[in-house]
Structure 1
Amino acid sequence: MGGRVPRLARAVPVLVGVALGVALLPATPAFAHNSLTGSNPVNGAKVATAPAKVELRFLAKLDPGRTKITVVGPDNIPAAGGAPAFSGSRVSVPFSPGAAGLYIVGYQLPSSDGHPIKGEVRFTLTTGTAAAPPSATPPASTAPATTPPSSPAPASPSATPVAVADTGDTGRGWLWAVGGLVLLAALATGLVLRRRRSARP
């Protein structure tokens, strides 16, 4: 009994040392679970000056071939100015700002259990790109051009011929009528005289 106690007392420090060693060992890739630890701009920030790049920081080293980073601005317009640059557990993307508003940095990472790790960082840009200045060229006038009154066309001579009285033919007609009346009167007078003469005994 007395011999077993010293042996157990000597074994306890060894077991404690082994347990501490196991606890202090770095996690192997099979058990690692990567996650976001910080960003620039920070999540929910409001910035007046657009940063040159957006940076994300993670717990473990990133796999460039299996890590996806997206940056979009207002109206879901892409705002990434180039390909992501990886450095250990950090990744940065050139930022190409547009209009003022909400910008979303999305990320997707692989995990040990096969399920991708997804998340996003949001920040608001309070000043956007300046609008294009208005054109100095005045708009063309749309008023209709006035045309001078047209002069009246000269009257064309009438194509209908004007009848001219033939005085010679008309005079001859009256003469023939008068002559006919005189002749008829003479004949009638002759007939009356003949009847009177024949009636006398």
Structure 2
Amino acid sequence: MGGRIARLTRFGAAVFGVAFGVSLLMPAVPAAAHNQLTGSSPRDGARVAEAPERVELRFLARLDEDTTKVTVTGPDNVDAAGGEPRFSGNRVSVPFTPGAAGLYVVGYRLVSGDGHPITGEVRFTLTTGTPADPTPEPTAAADPTAIGTAASTPAPVTPEAATPMPMSDESSGGGWWWAAVAVLLLLAVLAAARLIRRRAARRG
């Protein structure tokens, strides 16, 4: 009798272990389907003196060209994208057209493999920009009888960093996965109990 109980106990423990292992693996499925940014060039927050030819974004999973949008804006919200984006697996790059020195924002929007839209941005600062047009010097009055008049020179305009619209990543809830794991564990326990009763009835 004691040996039979020990065998049934070991069998129940094995079933519970298998169910627990499955529950640990299940949350990895939605995580793999949910895409996210893994890196960029220039990196987020970088300060660069030499403007790059292209801006590149790298993601966790392959990108869909039809649902992925990338924008590049510079100071005063000036468009700094020099062409259409180029895709290569999980990477996308956009030609960069530098303007004035200041903050540049690379915004992206894509649809993840689980159907959820993801938005975000990468910011970097260009420390050197294209030179501004020279301001013409004011000419003196041609009338020799005119008493000296002060000519005012307009103050140089300092480019201000653009203030992009904030973009936030959308996260997906995963509560239903834990509910599925709980149901799976319950079914495993019920199956083990039923098998124990059946074996006990056969040997009783």
> Is TM > 0.5 for Structure 1 vs Structure 2?
yes
In 2, Cα distance between the equivalents of 1:24 and 1:85?
A: 35
Q: What does residue 91 of structure 1 align with?
A: 92
Q: What stretches of structure 1 of length at least 5 have no aligned partner?
A: 145-201
Structure 1 residues 30-87: Cα deviation after superposition (integer angstroms, max 9, x where no partner): 9722222221111111110111111112222221111110001111111111111122
TM-score by length of 2: 0.56
Q: What does residue 44 of structure 2 align with?
A: 43
2:109 maps to a residue whose letter is Q
In 2, Cα distance between the equivalents of 1:31 and 1:37?
A: 13
- Partner secondary structure for residue 3 of structure 1: helix
Q: What does residue 61 of structure 2 align with?
A: 60
- Partner secondary structure for residue 21 of structure 2: helix
Write the mapping of 1:1-201 to structure 2, written as runs, cut at 5 A.
Answer: 1=1, 2-10=3-11, 12-13=13-14, 15-17=16-18, 19-20=20-21, 23-24=24-25, 27-28=28-29, 32-111=33-112, 115-131=116-132
Superposed CA RMSD: 3.6
In 2, Cα distance between the equivalents of 1:75 and 1:108?
A: 22
In 1, Cα distance between the equivalents of 2:64 and 2:20?
A: 32
CA 85–13 in structure 1, closer or farther in 2 if over 3 Å, else same: farther
1:119 maps to a residue whose letter is G
Q: What stretches of structure 2 of length at least 5 have no aligned partner?
A: 144-204
Structure 1 residues 70-120: Cα deviation after superposition (integer angstroms, max 9, x where no partner): 001111111111111122222111111111111000011224675522111
Could you tell me whether the CA contact under 8 Å between 1:79 and 1:98 is conserved in 2?
yes
- Partner secondary structure for residue 9 of structure 1: helix
Shift of 1:20: 3.4
1:90 maps to a residue whose letter is R
CA 86–24 in structure 1, closer or farther in 2 if over 3 Å, else same: farther
In 1, Cα distance between the equivalents of 2:31 and 2:124?
A: 33
Could you tell me whether the CA contact under 8 Å between 1:30 and 1:112 is conserved in 2?
no
Shift of 1:129: 1.5
- Partner secondary structure for residue 66 of structure 1: coil
Q: What does residue 155 of structure 1 align with?
A: none
Q: What does residue 149 of structure 2 align with?
A: none
In 2, Cα distance between the equivalents of 1:102 and 1:63?
A: 28
In 2, Cα distance between the equivalents of 1:61 and 1:22?
A: 27
1:64 maps to a residue whose letter is E
Please identify the structure whose Cα radius of gyration is greater.
1
Q: Which has the higher contact order (CA 8 A, sep 6+)?
A: 2
TM-score by length of 1: 0.57
In 2, Cα distance between the equivalents of 1:80 and 1:114?
A: 27
In 2, Cα distance between the equivalents of 1:85 and 1:43?
A: 20
CA 85–74 in structure 1, closer or farther in 2 if over 3 Å, else same: same
Could you tell me whether the CA contact under 8 Å between 1:47 and 1:126 is conserved in 2?
yes
Could you tell me whether the CA contact under 8 Å between 2:103 and 2:125 is conserved in 1?
yes
CA 56–31 in structure 1, closer or farther in 2 if over 3 Å, else same: closer
